[in-house]
Amino acid sequence: MRSLIRRPVADAAPRDPAPSRLGYRYQRLMLTPGFRSTVRIGVPIILILSIVGSWYSKPENRAEFAATIKDTKQTFQQRPQFMVQTLNLTGGDLTVMTEVAALLPSEFPVSSFDLDLEKIRADIEALDPIKSASVRVGQAGALEVRLNPRVPVALWRDGATLRLIDAEGTESGQINARADRLELPLIAGDGAEDNIDEALHLFAAAGPLIERVRGLVRMGERRWDMVLDRDQRILLPADGAVAALDRVIALNDAQDMLNRDVAVVDMRNAARPTLRMNEEAADALRRVNTTTSNNGAGN
């Protein structure tokens, strides 16, 4: 008969809990440091890598991924904060500016990420008339290009062409006629552009002769000839050219030498300055000398 009250079953006494062999082994395995770190770090990494790898191995996914990245990048770069709106070009004259503007991006607005300022600067500086330039994206999205043009200090005649030369001897442009830049001294000859400093010194030292100076000619890539009007030449030595020129000027001041019929003043040998006169002058002098010697034969 079924009992009316609830009776505990014979073996309802709480069984002693004991881990199963499997559970026990599992716990011991998980307490093994190497295994545990493998499970906790290695397995998730492998899982993630395999998922990502399998997704990435399909070409359409790869393309989509690349497109997304490109899109995001573009969206970011095209934000108004990064856009360059205007061009601010300063320094230099009109021709130079026209040349420079050809190197700059023609269409604005353009993202500042697309501008390679270093390259633009290098390109601009590669131009002859530009000594240096600074290129930066300044206030209110303006591309500020500040040019520092070369200042020509002399003209260098090379055959028919007239080149503008700055103090470093670098060519900064060409002109058609001497009359365009009358204020610049003229130099000529091979290797003239390498000794522009000395030439400028000589021009500075010319002093009272400056009105008459036509130019300096480099002779044999070694020394200077100063050419004056009336085809007069002053041959200057390789060393101490300025001092030699000073001596010529002193002679000129004292004896009005250059106004006479002198063709060449040869100062190449400092111990023996030599004058060469024009032919008629020489003839005249010879005649005078003969007359004098006939008159005074007793000498």
Partner 1 sequence: MGDLYDSQRAMRQMRKAAMQRGVVAILDVGTSKIACLVLRFDGPEQFRSDGVGSLAGQSQFRVIGAATTRSRGVRFGEVDAMQETERAIRTAVQAAQKMANVRVDHVIACLSGARPRSYGLDGTLNVAGGMVTEQDISQVMASCDVPDYGADREVLHAQPVNFALDHRSGLADPRGQIGNELKTDMHMLTVDATAIQNIFYCIKRCDLELAGIASSAYVSGMSSLVEDEQELGAACIDLGGGSTGISVFMKKHMIYADSVRMGGEHVTSDISMGLQIPMATAERIKTFYGGVMATGMDDREMIEIGGDTGDWEHDRRTVSRAELIGIMRPRVEEILEEVRERLDAAGFEHLPSQQIVLTGGGSQIPGLDGLASKILGQQVRLGRPLRVQGLPQAAIGPAFSSAVGLTLFAANPQDEWWDFEIPADRYPARSLKRAVKWFKDNW
Interaction of residue 280 with partner 1, rule CB under 8 A: no
The nearer residue to partner 1, 18 or 182, going by C-beta atoms, is 18
The nearer residue to partner 1, 39 or 243, going by C-beta atoms, is 39
In the chain, the amino acid numbered 256 is D
Interaction of residue 7 with partner 1, rule CB under 8 A: yes
For residue 271, what is the DSSP state? Answer: T
Nearest CA to 269 among 237, 239, 240? 237
Q: What's the min distance (Å) between Cβ of 38 and partner 1? A: 14
CA distances from 137 to 73, 87, 140 (A): 20, 9, 9
CA distances from 11 to 1, 5, 15, 19 (A): 20, 17, 8, 19
- Cα 299 from chain centroid (whole Å): 72
The nearer residue to partner 1, 33 or 220, going by C-beta atoms, is 33
From residue 28 to residue 67, the character string flagging contacts with partner 1 as x (rule: CB under 8 A) and all else as - is x--xx-----------------------------------
Part of the chain binding partner 1 (CB under 8 A), chosen from 13-21, 40-48, 119-127, 150-158? 13-21
Phi and psi at residue 165, in whole multiples of 5°?
Answer: -120, 135
CB crowding 162-186: b at 16 or more within 10 Å, else e? bbbbbeebbbbbeeeeeeebeebbb
Nearest CA to 158 among 183, 193, 194? 193
Size of the site for partner 1 (CB under 8 A): 17
Interaction of residue 5 with partner 1, rule CB under 8 A: yes
Interaction of residue 72 with partner 1, rule CB under 8 A: no
Part of the chain binding partner 1 (CB under 8 A), chosen from 24-32, 55-63, 140-148, 219-227? 24-32
Part of the chain binding partner 1 (CB under 8 A), chosen from 7-15, 42-50, 194-202, 272-280? 7-15
The nearer residue to partner 1, 8 or 159, going by C-beta atoms, is 8
Q: Which residues lie closer than 8 Å to 87 by C-beta, 6 or more apart? A: 101, 104, 108, 142, 143, 145
Q: Which residues bind partner 1 (CB under 8 A)?
A: 3, 5, 7-8, 13, 16-19, 21, 23-25, 27-28, 31-32
